Amino acid sequence: MDKLRGVNILEWLTLTIDGREVSVPKGTTVLDACRMNNIPIPTLCHAPELTSAGACRLCVVQIEGMRNLPPSCVTQVAQGMKVETQNPKVRNARKTILELIVANHPLDCMTCQKMGDCSLAEYAYEYGVTGEVYQGEKRNLPIDSGNPFILRDPNKCILCGKCIKACSEIQGKSILDFSFRGFDTQVGPAFNLPYNESDCDFCGSCVSVCPVGALVEKQMVGKGRPWEVSKVQTTCPFCGVGCNFDLNVKDGKVIGVTSNPNAPVNGKALCVKGRFGMDMIYSDNRVTTPLIRKDGVLVPAEWDEALDLIATKLGDIKKNYGPNSIAALSSAHCTNEENYLMQKFMRAVIGTNNIDHCART
C-alpha cells in the first residue's frame, strides 16, 4: 500500500457485483466484498476469524472470463471484475452441493439440538433441498459423549474443517484433524480418540464455529431450542481478563453459555471455565447471604450489618496494632477495576502495602 505523510493509503479496486458497481480495498476476497455491500453469500466452512480453505464450495459465484465457478471465499477481487452471485447456474451449483451434503447427513432435524441455529438447515430451506435426490450409504459412527462438556456426533459432521482451524488457530492446540479417506473421512483427535482421552482443554472453540449439530454444548442438550432462549451478554467472572459471552436464559434460568462474536476482548474464544463452569450458579454450596459469627455460630445477616461489622473490626485492629497488622488477598475472579479498588482501599484507607493477588504467581 502507498504511504502519504506516514498514513497508509489503501489501494481501492472497483468491480461489478450483480450489476452493481462497488469499490473495495485491494486484497479483499469476493466473499468479503459481497458482505461489505450487504450481498448475501451462503457459506458453511468460512468464519471471519479463521483462514479460508474453500472446503464446502457453497460460496461459488460466476466471474466473467473464468471457466468454472470459483469459491468466493478464496478468490481475491481484481480491477474491473464482473461477478454474478444469484444467476441460475450459480444457484443450481449450490443446490447440488447441498444435496450431496444432505445425502450423507442425518435428517433428524426435529430432535437435533442445533435446529433453529443450523446453517445447513437454513440453506437447505432456502434452496429447496430435501435429501431425496441422492440416496446411498449412511454413516453410523459412535457418538462421543464420554466427557461432561461437548457432545460430538461424527455422523452429522459435514467435514467443513472449521473446528480444526479453531483448535489450531485460536487455541493453538491442534488437537483435531482429518483422518481416513473418502467416504470414511472423519474429524477428531489423533487416532480418533474420544475427547476425554485426548489432550483437549475443552475450551469449546470447536463448538462455537460448528455450523451443524456435530458439536454441541452437552449441558444444554434438551434444555431449550434457540428460539426459546434469550441471550444476555455479560462478563465472565472467573478471572480479570474481561471475556464476554452470552448467558442463555430460558424461563428465567441460565441453561448454558455461548460465544458472542462481538465480544471486544475475546471474540468467540473462551476457556473451559468460562464456557462450561456455570454449575456454580445453582450449586447448593453457594453462599448467597452474608454470614456473621454470633456466640460461635455463623448465622445469616443483612449486608449492611455484615459490612458495618467488618468496618468496626478493621478499625479496632488498625487502632490497636497498627495498619501493617492487616493484609489483604485479592482474587482473579474479580474484575481489574475491583482489584484496583481493593489495593486502593488497603493503601489509602488502611495505610499498608500488605496487598497480594492470587494470580501474581
- Residue extents of the structural domains in the chain: 2-86, 109-222, 224-286, 291-357
CA angle 261, 263, 267 (to 5 degrees): 55
Answer whether 49's CB lies under 8 Å from 267's CB. Answer: yes
How many C-beta atoms lie closer than 10 Å to residue 63's C-beta? 20
Q: What does pLDDT average to over the chain?
A: 92
Helix (H, G, I), strand (E, B) or coil at 35: helix
CATH class, range 224-286: mainly beta
Contact between residue 151 and residue 215 where contact means Cβ atoms under 8 Å apart: yes
Q: Using CA atoms, how far apart are residues 175 and 189, in angstroms rounded to an integer?
A: 5
Give 216's Cβ-side CA count (13 Å radius).
24
Per-residue DSSP letter, 349: I
Opening angle at CA 84, ends 83 and 87, nearest 5: 165
The DSSP secondary structure of 154-218, one letter per residue, reads GGG-----HHHHIIIIISS----EEES-GGG-EEESGGG--GGGTT-----HHHHH-SSTTEEEG
Give 109-222's CATH code, choosing from 3.90.79.10, 3.30.43.10, 3.30.1130.10, 3.30.70.20: 3.30.70.20
Q: Name 84's bridge partners.
A: 62
- Joined together, the cell numbers standing for residue 255 give 441453561
Q: How far apart are CA 306 and CA 321, in angstroms?
A: 22
Q: Which of 233, 203, 224 is nearest to 115 (CA)?
A: 224
Q: What pTM does this model have? A: 0.83
Residue 87 near residue 22, CB atoms below 8 Å: no
Q: Tens of pLDDT along the chain (361 residues)?
A: 443 344 445 799 999 999 999 999 999 999 999 999 999 999 999 999 999 989 999 999 999 999 899 999 999 999 999 999 999 999 999 999 999 999 989 999 999 999 999 999 999 999 999 989 998 888 899 999 999 999 999 999 999 999 999 999 999 999 999 999 999 999 999 988 999 999 999 999 999 999 999 999 999 999 999 999 999 999 888 877 889 999 999 999 999 999 999 999 999 999 999 999 988 888 888 888 999 999 999 999 999 999 999 999 999 999 999 999 999 999 877 778 888 999 999 999 999 999 998 776 5
Question: How is domain 2-86 classified at the architecture level of CATH?
Answer: Roll (3.10)
Q: What is the pLDDT of residue 239?
A: 79
Nearest by Cα to 81 from 32, 36, 17: 17
